[in-house]
Amino acid sequence: MLTTIRRVLSLLLILAGCGMLLWAWLPNPRQALSQYIEPPAMQAPAAGFAQIPAVLEVRQVRMEWPTSLRIGEPGAITLSFDPVRSEIIVPKPEAQFSDVYNSYNLMAEGRFEVAGRRVDPANPIRESMPSGQTVKFTWQLSPQEIGIYECNVWLLLRFLPLDGSPASEVPVFVHQVDIQATSLFGLGGPQARLLGGVGIIASVILSLDLLFCRVIKRAERSFNRR
């Protein structure tokens, strides 16, 4: 009777341990989004120019984020702002815009906002944006409670006039994402991995103990037969 109980317990432990490890190690589902930004959306809010200063190259916002995260684990949210080098037909910007880099230094500013939660790194993040170069931002979110986290991602252009005038900002991309924080019976990813590993080790120990007892019994039977 005791042997049967131990066998059942060993089986339950290894099943529970494998289930926890499987849940804890499965990659979090992710979603991606891309959007083209054309020169009219990247013009400086300035007056007094015969032609409005603007970023003359078409750019593409690429964003990727996890749709689900285990509590206690960090997830990466990435946002890149890339110049488009493919053959895309757009209206000739030179007719109405001038090259913004003739009058301004340009910076890209990224913000990732989620109510009541801290993100790493803290907002805002600013990067210099030379012409023809990619700008990329990465944030880490580590939820501690289950629920849906409503997040807002912003990309702004910060225009710094070369003549020392006050800087100005123009938002070029705003997007809301929902990230679902999950748990396994209240356990986060690290706890599930720990308990799953302990369960498998305990199951192996019980199995080895039962195997050792069986070997001893067979040895005793063989000895008695002699």
Instruction: For residue range 95-109, list pLDDT tens digits in order.
Output: 578 889 998 999 999
Rg (CA), the chain: 29
pLDDT digits (tens, 9 = 90+) for 1-11: 666 776 777 77
DSSP H or E stretch at residue 156: strand 147-161
7-42 residues labelled b (16+ CB within 10 A) or e (exposed):
eeebeebbebbeebbebbeeebeeeeeeeebbbeeb
Report pLDDT for 121.
85
182, exposed or middle or buried, with CB in 10 Å at 0-12, 13-18, 19+?
A: middle
113-163 per-position pLDDT tens digit:
987 677 788 778 999 999 889 999 999 999 989 999 999 999 999 999 998
Least confident segment among 42-46, 117-121, 166-170: 117-121
Q: Which two tokens stand for residue 79?
A: 């946002």
Give the residue from 70, 140, 59, 153 showing the smallest Cα distance to 100: 59
Pick from 29, 35, 59: nearest CA to 174: 35
pLDDT (mean) for 51-64: 91
Which domains can be identified in the chain, with CATH numbers? 29-182 (2.60.40.10)
pLDDT of amino acid 220: 54
Q: Can you tell me which residue has the tokens 């209206």?
A: 91
Q: Residue range 169-175: average pLDDT?
A: 95
Considering only 49-53, 92-96, 138-142, which range has the smallest mean pLDDT? 92-96
Per-chain mean pLDDT for the chain: 84
* pTM for the predicted model, two decimal places: 0.81
- 190 contact partners, CB below 8 Å, separation of at least 6: 24, 72, 73
Which amino acid appears at position 139 of this protein? W
Confidence (pLDDT) at 89: 45
